[in-house]
Amino acid sequence: MSKLQIGILGATGVVGQRFIQMLERHPWFEVAWLAASDRSEGKNYSEAVRWRLKTPVPPKVAAMKVSPATPDGAPRIIFAALDASIAAELEPKFAEAGCAVVSNSSALRMKSDVPLVVPEVNASHIKLIDTQLWRNKSGGYVVTNPNCSAIGLVLALAPLHRKFGLDTVMAVTMQAVSGAGYPGVASLDILGNVIPFIRNEEEKMEEETHKLLGQLNGHGIIPAPFAMSAQCNRVAVEDGHTESVSIRLKAKARPEEIIEAWNSYRAEPQELKLPSAPEKPIVYLDANDRPQPRFDVDMGAGMTAAVGRLRPCGVLDWKFTVLSHNTIRGAAGAALLNAELLKAKGYLGSP
């Protein structure tokens, strides 16, 4: 079976690089086309990119020419890692031209007919695709994954919401610098510092979490009806968003039931054995000082969210810490898993 050809929009950015890294040995997909900003166009990828990962640029990709960011000549499956303002313009163009656009951008996430999906959480939402005008006209569509700060949280919440019902969520994040792209955060801003502000991040976390845990009905997604508040901070960590979370549940739960809900959680990606699905989407760590980015960010090849420190909360019911890899589970890996889900569900055509 030959592999499906993938195009990458925003191929030179931090998330674009992760796409290329994660696709290097992928069993289903292969990188066939790259686009980036105008100033990269026409260059070899290795010249255009300032590669910031520890593994080298795959030689095949290094030699590829960077194409203009237009649908002509692009493959039918596009992974998009664009800034929101550019995504708002380009993603619809590619969808209109018949491409399956698997997007990591925030531009269209909250659009009522665009699925915002974490395959372990709300795989069924991909059916929204069928309501997109693009889909009906050209076969193209857009599917999105959430913000890197929402994805770890929602993985931790999903099993609890399913089993006990969520009433209230409060989350305070300590986010890695790679979440801001490259060059992103200036070293003078973050060395020995905490920045208690990330533009639009709290708003995204709150609305995306509600949509992700929402219900699909005939008219779209009904956001899940719990109360939520997020506070977002930047810290001097390379990769891995850590979050201090408090929750109130609708049903009574004992701590061992909560931990069991996390550790035993399996969903469609695990059942379908999607190539990038971690064996365990969530793992509870017993040590009293974990999870920590330095040690736990790469669990499940960066696709597992690590949870720890479950204990009673003096205001809500429970508090805990969750950590997930922001450029793998929170960005490139999220989109890739969405693409794998789409393929498994027949949305990428017959191979």
Over the window 171 to 200, marking each residue x when it contacts a second copy by CB under 8 A and - when it does not, the resulting string is: -x-x--xx---xxxxxxxxxxxxxxxx---
CA angle 155, 104, 79 (to 5 degrees): 120
Which token pair is 313?
A: 């909360």
Concerning whether 26 is annotated as a catalytic residue, the answer is no
Q: Which of 25, 54, 252, 254 binds a second copy (CB under 8 A)?
A: 54
Over the window 59 to 98, marking each residue x when it contacts a second copy by CB under 8 A and - when it does not, the resulting string is: ----------------------------------------
User: Can residue 290 be called a binding residue for a second copy (CB under 8 A)?
Assistant: yes
Concerning whether 125 is annotated as a catalytic residue, the answer is no
Over the window 14 to 53, marking each residue x when it contacts a second copy by CB under 8 A and - when it does not, the resulting string is: x-------------------------------------xx
φ/ψ region of 240 (left if φ > 0, alpha if ψ in -120 to 50, else beta) reads: left
Active-site residue, selected from the candidate residues 161, 210, 241, 325: 241
Considering only residues 97-136, where is the footprint of a second copy by CB under 8 A?
Answer: none
Q: How large is the angle between the packed helices 333-344 and 14-23, nearest 10 degrees?
A: 50
Rounded to an integer, what distance in angstroms lies between the CA atom of residue 96 and that of residue 74? 13
Active-site residue, selected from the candidate residues 148, 161, 232, 325: 148
Question: Phi first, then psi: what are they for 138, rounded to 5°?
Answer: -120, -5
User: Can residue 209 be called a binding residue for a second copy (CB under 8 A)?
Assistant: no
| Residue whose CB is less far from a second copy, 130 or 189 | 189
Cβ–Cβ under 8 Å, residues 330 and 241: yes
Q: How far is the CB of 176 from a second copy (least distance, A)?
A: 9
Burial label, 288 (beta-carbon count in 10 A; 0-12, 13-18, 19+): exposed
3-state secondary structure 116-181: ECCHHHHHHHHHHHHHCHHHHHHCCEEEECCCHHHHHHHHHHHHHHHHHCEEEEEEEEEECHHHHC
| Residue whose CB is less far from a second copy, 102 or 306 | 306
Q: Which of 295, 301, 310, 345 binds a second copy (CB under 8 A)?
A: 295
Q: How far is the CB of 235 from a second copy (least distance, A)?
A: 5
Report the candidate in 103, 95, 107, 104 with the shortest Cα–Cα distance to residue 71: 95
Stretch of residues binding a second copy (CB under 8 A), selected from 29-37, 60-68, 98-106, 221-229: 221-229
Stretch of residues binding a second copy (CB under 8 A), selected from 15-23, 77-85, 212-220, 233-241: 233-241
How many other β-carbons are positioned within 10 Å of the β-carbon of residue 58? 17
| Residue whose CB is less far from a second copy, 90 or 323 | 323
| Residue whose CB is less far from a second copy, 217 or 288 | 288
| Residue whose CB is less far from a second copy, 242 or 276 | 242
Q: Give the sheet arrangement for strand 227-235, strand by strand.
A: 194-195, 227-235, 166-175, 241-249, 318-324, 305-312, 282-285
Q: Which of 227, 251, 271, 349 binds a second copy (CB under 8 A)?
A: 227
The single residue listed with the structure tokens 């006990």 is 164
Number of residues forming the site for a second copy (CB under 8 A): 58
Report the candidate in 124, 122, 90, 123 with the shortest Cα–Cα distance to residue 105: 90
Residues that bind a second copy in the complex, under the rule CB under 8 A: 14, 52-54, 168-170, 172, 174, 177-178, 182-197, 206, 227-231, 233, 235-238, 242, 244, 246, 288-295, 298, 308-309, 313-316, 319, 321
Catalytic residues, by residue number, are 148, 241
